[in-house]
Structure 1
Amino acid sequence: MSHTLFIADLHLSPTRPDITDCFERFMHKEAINADALYVLGDLFEVWIGDDDHSPFHQQIKAAFSAVTEQGVPVYFIHGNRDFLIGQRFAKETGVTLLNELECIDLYGTPTLILHGDTLCLEDVDYQAFRRKVHQPWLQRLFLCLPLTWRRKIAAKMRAGSANANQQKSSTIMDVTPQEVQRQLDKAGVVNMIHGHTHRPHIHQWHQHGTAYQRIVLGDWYQHGSVLVCRQQGCDLQSRDFAN
């Protein structure tokens, strides 16, 4: 049966082989049979540049290539951990890079897809940080640094982010409802799919007589999380890690 798959927030890294194993099984057994696969950001725990050809990264790229070489289109939207993934990665894997907001036709249903971090407007500190690191000149400067320097900088930034998040309320790190509605209205659609918040759920509501739906993808910390969409609708599912 025709179906399209969505995943996000895998945070792949060599330190979590259980997540990597689950991801590779998903790619080899499920993604390869889908109409399309959408990865909505934070595929990696950190990405410091397409020139980082570590064995781990080559392993993940091979999993994507195995799917795209079979003719399955794979689309990627940057997350807050892997916004430096670039055209070299896309060329090596066959993945298509999308804009941070894209409107797709999901079996006849126009749907807005995005990573989701831009919806969390109450997290003022993060939004300020995001504006800074998304400046093209700063990204070019960072990518000119030796890989060893970039790894150290990234590790320090991740540690600082983890400490900061511990001090924030769960409400601050969730989406701002008014921004969700604004983006839906701006795109002229009533359906949205995103990740980032690690709070998998299918939200439905009515406003001015119109029905809306927002699907939040889950993270892959305790188990895999996959959204399976068909003509009849979408289903949030989990995938167990191997024992």
Structure 2
Amino acid sequence: MNNIYFISDIHLDPSNSEVTDKFINFMLEKSSDMKELYILGDLFEFWIDDKYDIVQNNIIISTLNRISENGTKVFLTHGNRDFLIGKKFTKITNIEILPENYILNLDNTRVLITHGDLLCTDDIDYQKFRKFIRNRITLKIFNLLSNNIKTKVASYLRSKSKKITSQKPDNIMDVNHDTVLSFYKKFKTNIIIHGHTHRKNIHETQDGRENYVRYVLGDWHNAPSYIVYENRKLELLDI
């Protein structure tokens, strides 16, 4: 168990057995080689409440428990779909929640890992909504609702989001390059790994004397992929 893995945007949903099976098979296949696993957000299609969603996703919980018991350390950054994952979930899965922007040290190389939505600053409406939906007052009101109403609200927001997204220009849905450059400098790193945009790729950029690399993970519904850190090298691979 020597290698470090990164995945993002699995969007697990109890109604989609194909993606669920793909995720479970991947986890069990790689677990013997997986020293650490970093899930960079949107593990689930949506998450409204630990107590409710843990029951709905018991097979996923069991899989995460299994690899954790086998020695793999699992870390999670919240995504825009599952930012309500809380302490109950982390306790029963032994997963550690990381800050939304986290510096990982890979053999003395600083690597920034993040979900990726904070890089998409051209999507002004989304950034405003993100700030609103994560506001303490908004969350407090949401948590007072019954699980039935929470589910309906989440389904409505998801449906509305998909409709709005389909009408937006592609460039707005991608990262803002000035924002990306500012993240490199702010976090003093030359490497960023993220998901969110569902645009699997490796982007190399030069700014002055600095060379930067940005690894983008694909989503598991259309372009399932993962990154493995092996022999001091990052590789973006298809599943």
- TM-score relative to the length of structure 2: 0.96
Cα distance 1:193–1:229, how it changes in 2: closer, same or farther (>3 A)? same
Q: How does 1:217-228 map to 2 (within 5 A)?
A: 217-222=217-222, 224-228=224-228
Number of residue equivalences? 239
How far apart are 1:54 and its partner, in Å? 5.7
How far apart are 1:213 and its partner, in Å? 0.7
Q: How does 1:149-164 map to 2 (within 5 A)?
A: 149-164=149-164
**Distance in 2 between residues matched to 1:115 and 1:54, nearest whole Å:** 22
Indicate if the aligned counterparts of 2:223 and 2:238 stay in contact, CA closer than 8 A. yes
How far apart are 1:92 and its partner, in Å? 0.8
- Structure 2 partner of 1:45: 45
- TM-score relative to the length of structure 1: 0.94
- Structure 1 partner of 2:22: 22
**Distance in 2 between residues matched to 1:134 and 1:231, nearest whole Å:** 39
Return 5+ residue gaps in structure 2 as ranges: none
Return 5+ residue gaps in structure 1 as ranges: none
**Distance in 1 between residues matched to 2:119 and 2:151, nearest whole Å:** 28
What one-letter code is carried by the residue in structure 2 that aligns with 1:146? Answer: S
**Distance in 2 between residues matched to 1:54 and 1:166, nearest whole Å:** 30
**Distance in 2 between residues matched to 1:64 and 1:224, nearest whole Å:** 19
**Distance in 2 between residues matched to 1:180 and 1:194, nearest whole Å:** 11
**Distance in 2 between residues matched to 1:155 and 1:114, nearest whole Å:** 25
- Structure 2 partner of 1:4: 4
Indicate if the aligned counterparts of 2:195 and 2:216 stay in contact, CA closer than 8 A. yes
- Structure 2 partner of 1:122: 122
How far apart are 1:30 and its partner, in Å? 0.5
How far apart are 1:11 and its partner, in Å? 0.6
Moved more, 12-21 or 54-63: 54-63
RMSD of equivalent CA atoms:
1.3
- Structure 1 partner of 2:60: 60
What one-letter code is carried by the residue in structure 2 that aligns with 1:72? Answer: T
**Distance in 1 between residues matched to 2:202 and 2:221, nearest whole Å:** 20
- Structure 2 partner of 1:103: 103
Indicate if the aligned counterparts of 1:107 and 1:230 stay in contact, CA closer than 8 A. no
SS in 1 for 2:51: coil
